Amino acid sequence: MKRIAEISVILLVALTSYFAGSFYRWLFGIMAIYAIITISWNLMKTIGRLSMGHALLFGLPAYISAMGYQYSVEASIYLFPITIILSGILFFVFSKITGKTAFVFLTFIASIMLWILTPKIVIEKDGILVGGEVGFNFFNVHFHGIFILSVISLIVIYLFTAEITSSRFGYFMKAVGDDETASKAVGINVDRVKLITIMYSSVLAGFAGLLYALDFGHISYEVFSVETSIFPFVASLLSGGNLFLSVLSSFFLVLLKRSLNSVYPGLMDVFYALVLVFSPKIGGFVYVKGKKFIKKL
């Protein structure tokens, strides 16, 4: 019953966007993409790993795929899943070699390095240099197609993730997130749980990146920006870590970005920065008030 109500809310937002006009149909696509990133980020948080470099999982598969697209369509199609797997493995290795605190630093550094280095990547296509700060062109799907694809994928991903997190495996994930040593002591295969979760998170983020690239028909180094990495953190913070509320807060943040940036370009980034600065205070406030609110309900 609860799931039906949650899906109805997502569908209601989608339908409202559909009937509000072309712009809002396109905007819903973006909202859904960011909601999928937040779901992906939340999964990693469940196993106790706070990723501040989710831009890497989001942008790298689509970026490498777009590079392959400059040569052939086949190369693009093959490179996409390979990069998803490799970025997932990279994050798993990070989680193996570091503790919870160092994982935050390492993921952040990795994504910032990509942000700094990718504008320097150029490749030759038919004697012309492409890439650099401009980025690469990619397949383009009409925004109607993206709208339908994003509605279906968001609902499927949400339902599947909600089921996973409330399943036996979900409890293992939470146990690993709370205490890895204790989880090992009670017989949970910690590495297996971490690997599966990180790979699933990587697939979701990579898929969101693909939708993003298909929507714009282009991808540049901007996908690796700090803003992309901090978006799911902010969305999750404002929702108190609840999966459904984090989808709604992602919708809200994308809408807020549109509104604030139309007042003054870049104003949303100030909002992000302020949320980060006061994140310990906001996190505690949302958690305490949220608990009280849920109790009242």
Partner 1 sequence: MALSFLYNFFVISVMALMISLNFRLSKFLNLSLAGFFAAGSYIAYFYPNLIAALILGGLFGFGLSLIIMKYCESVIEATISSLGFGLLIERILYFIHESSYYYILNYDLSWLSIPATLTVFAVILFLYLTKNIGLKLKFVESDIELAEIYGVDTTKIKYMVIILTSATVTCFGFIYASLLAITPTIGFGYLISGIIVSAFAAQLKLNGIYHYVSVIALSFVLTRIFGVIL
Contact 134, 208 (CB under 8 A): no
Nearer to partner 1, 151 or 238 (CB): 238
Nearer to partner 1, 103 or 147 (CB): 103
Least Å distance between CB 283 and partner 1?
Answer: 8
Pick 191 or 269: Cβ nearer partner 1: 269
Q: Which one-letter DSSP state was computed for residue 219? A: E
- What 3-state DSSP class applies to 257? helix
CB burial string 168-195: b at 16+ within 10 A, e below: eebebbebbbeebeebeeeebebeebbb
The nearest distance, CB 110 to partner 1, in angstroms, is: 10
CB neighbours of 163 closer than 8 A, spacing ≥ 6?
none
Least distance to partner 1, CB of residue 263, Å: 12
Q: 25 or 49: whose CB is closer to partner 1?
A: 49
Residue nearer to partner 1 on the CB measure, 141 or 230: 230
Binding residues for partner 1, rule: CB under 8 A, are 50, 52, 100-101, 104-105, 108-109, 112-113, 115-117, 226, 230, 233, 264, 266, 269-270, 272-281
Closest distance between partner 1 and the C-beta of residue 276, in Å? 3
The nearest distance, CB 113 to partner 1, in angstroms, is 6
**CA 245 remoteness from chain centre:** 15
* Rounded-to-integer distance, Cα 241 and Cα 177, Å: 13
Distance CA(61)–CA(67), nearest Å, equals 10
